[in-house]
Structure 1
Amino acid sequence: MILVTGGLGFIGSHVVQALLDAGEECVLVQRRHAEVPAGRFTAPVQLEQADVTDLTSLRDIGARHRITGIVHLAGSMPWPPSSEPSVGAARRALGGLLNIVQVAQDWGVNRVGVASTIGVYSGVTAEGALTEDLPLPMSSPHLIPAFKKIGELLNDHLADQTGIDIVNYRISGTWGPLGHPDPFFPAPELVHAAARGRTPDLSGLRAPAYAEDGLDLCYVKDTGRAIALLQTADKLAHRTYNVGAGRATTNAEVIAAIKTIVPDARIELPAGGTTTHGYLDITRIREDTGYQPVYDTERAAADYISWLRAGHER
């Protein structure tokens, strides 16, 4: 049985479905009490309430289920900001990651996958494909990539010391069903606006969005399948894998794809922005798992709009 932290979340839900499609059983760990929404998954799952920062509650799960693998998608960083003092927040965040590795060792788990981010490449001067072996700057523009870099270093050390196969997922910009507005790119809000017949509200973005801006934009169903493949592969040759589309998608491309479905959508962006885009090299995951994205921009937009028009809030 695969334990998935954050298994009812945005990416987590799609990872769980991909694992179920592969014939795996899953136990989902949520910090707050929750129920599995009707119709969320095509097969039954187990749901446990536990906080990854509470080692005792995690260990209790292992007393009720035989855990053979772990996909850790929850937190491990002090985000979103809270009133908790910064030192305590950092200690809790990193403590949650350490607890996951601890129970993996207790239960004899062979492989633990941990969510990282494309943001760890911020500051890399190389253009084009971003490969996993590129040297990363020590600085970070935001605490999310900062803590993900720290986590990757810890994971490498702990893998050496424990013998557990600890795998980092450097996940690209991800959009699709169950997603929230993203502060770093406008695609989700553009889709929501088109599906609802309104103008997009981009006030939550950290920087203005332009038509020529682009990034490695991966549809969440591809992201979920990629992570499931990494978890279930018989053997992996590396500890870090890029998880993305393997190409840069501009906002103009997203808008064009949306307008094939909603021709009168009011989702224009001003011209401008950067025309040089980094994107994830996915050679490593393709060679080791056979992963290949199946959702191009038009198919992704159509699927996402159909989901929202079916009555789903997000």
Structure 2
Amino acid sequence: MIAITGGLGFIGSHTARALLDLGESCVLVQRRDAEPPPELAGPDVVVERADITDLGALLELGSRHKITGIVHLAGSMPWPPDPDQPVEAARRAIGSLFNLIRAAQDWGVGRIGLASTIGVYAGVPGAGPLREDLPLPMASPHVIPAFKKIGELLGGHLADVTGLEIVNYRISAIWGPRGHAADPFFPAPQLVHAAARGTAPDLSALRSPAYAEDAIDLCYAKDCGRAIALLQLADRLNHRTYNVASGRATTNAEVVAAIKTVVPGARVELPTGGTSGGTCLDITRLRQDTGYQPAFDTERAVADYIAWLRAGNER
């Protein structure tokens, strides 16, 4: 049984579904009471309420379930920042990782997966797909990649001193069902939601203007969940860090074109004037060690996402 922190969240729910499809059972760890969605309901899924910053509550899960692996996807970093308690917020974020390592020792867990982010590559010079062995700058432009770097460093140290297998997932830009309706870093979700509703997109949540030529490694949520599940269940992994991505940079223009194929007349045009190229992650390690191949190209992802929204789902 695999424990997934944040198991009913965006990436967590898709990871759980992928693990179930591969024949594994899951315990989904949430801070608040919640029921699993219909696609996760069944005898192989248990939802447990526990705050991972509370070591006692976390350890108690091991008395009720035979947990063999941990996938840590809960958003425990201090975001958004707490201006009144910044030290305590940071303490909780780092403490939750220590608690999971302690729990893994107590439960005899074989492998722990830690969610990291494409953002750790910010400031890496050069072009081409970004590999996991590239040196990263010490500074980070945002609190999320800053704490993900800390987590990777701590995970590496703790793997060395405890003998646990701790694996980092550097996750790219993820979009799809149950995700953000308005993402601050890329406009694909806003464009799809607008097309499904028949409205013009509201891009006010973006941190910078969106242009047709802008590109990033967009990975559909179902592919992301399957990649993480394969990493968790692989008999052997040859590395501690893996990019979880599509392996290619998708332009906003490609997303717009795919939307118009599914919804002719959708009002989702973007201005030109952006930067060509864009960031993509090298997924050679992931392919070689798990056999992963992305199943969703841009058009298939758009069609699936719009169908999900038109079925009455809000995001």
1:213 corresponds to: 214
SS at match of 2:88: helix
d(CA) in 1 for partners of 2:38, 2:217: 32
d(CA) in 2 for partners of 1:42, 1:150: 37
Equivalent pair of 2:4/2:16 in contact (CA under 8 Å): yes
Q: 1:40 to 1:311 in 2, by over 3 A?
A: farther
State the 1:37 CA deviation: 2.6
SS at match of 2:299: helix
1:233 corresponds to: 234
Task: Give 1:175-254 correspondences, 5 Å limit.
Answer: 175-180=175-180, 181-254=182-255
State the 1:76 CA deviation: 3.0
Aligned AA for 2:257? A
Equivalent pair of 2:17/2:39 in contact (CA under 8 Å): no
Which consecutive unaligned segments of at least 5 residues does structure 1 have? none
Equivalent pair of 1:17/1:42 in contact (CA under 8 Å): no
State the 1:83 CA deviation: 5.4
Aligned AA for 2:156? D
Aligned AA for 1:187? A
1:58 aligns with 2:58: yes
Alignment: residue pair count: 314
What do residues 43-86 of structure 1 show as CA deviations (whole Å, max 9, x unaligned)?
64101000110000000100110110000000231012345510
1:288 corresponds to: 289
Aligned AA for 2:155? N
Task: Give 1:1-314 correspondences, 5 Å limit.
Answer: 1-41=1-41, 44-82=44-82, 84-180=84-180, 181-314=182-315
Q: CA RMSD in A?
A: 1.1
d(CA) in 2 for partners of 1:298, 1:140: 33
Which consecutive unaligned segments of at least 5 residues does structure 2 have? none
Equivalent pair of 1:20/1:43 in contact (CA under 8 Å): no
State the 1:41 CA deviation: 4.7
SS at match of 1:241: strand
TM-score, scaled to structure 2: 0.98
State the 1:42 CA deviation: 6.4
State the 1:126 CA deviation: 1.8
State the 1:32 CA deviation: 1.1
What do residues 97-146 of structure 1 show as CA deviations (whole Å, max 9, x unaligned)?
11111100111101000100000000011211000000001111100000
Equivalent pair of 1:76/1:147 in contact (CA under 8 Å): no
The structure 1 segments of at least 4 consecutive aligned residues displaced by more than 2 Å after TM superposition are: 37-44, 80-84
What do residues 171-211 of structure 1 show as CA deviations (whole Å, max 9, x unaligned)?
00000000012110000010000000011111111111111
Equivalent pair of 1:199/1:266 in contact (CA under 8 Å): yes
What do residues 214-261 of structure 1 show as CA deviations (whole Å, max 9, x unaligned)?
000000000000000000000000000000000000000000001001
Aligned AA for 1:14? H
d(CA) in 2 for partners of 1:232, 1:37: 23
Q: 1:83 to 1:38 in 2, by over 3 A?
A: farther
d(CA) in 1 for partners of 2:126, 2:163: 33
Q: 1:25 to 1:40 in 2, by over 3 A?
A: closer
* Identical positions, percent: 71
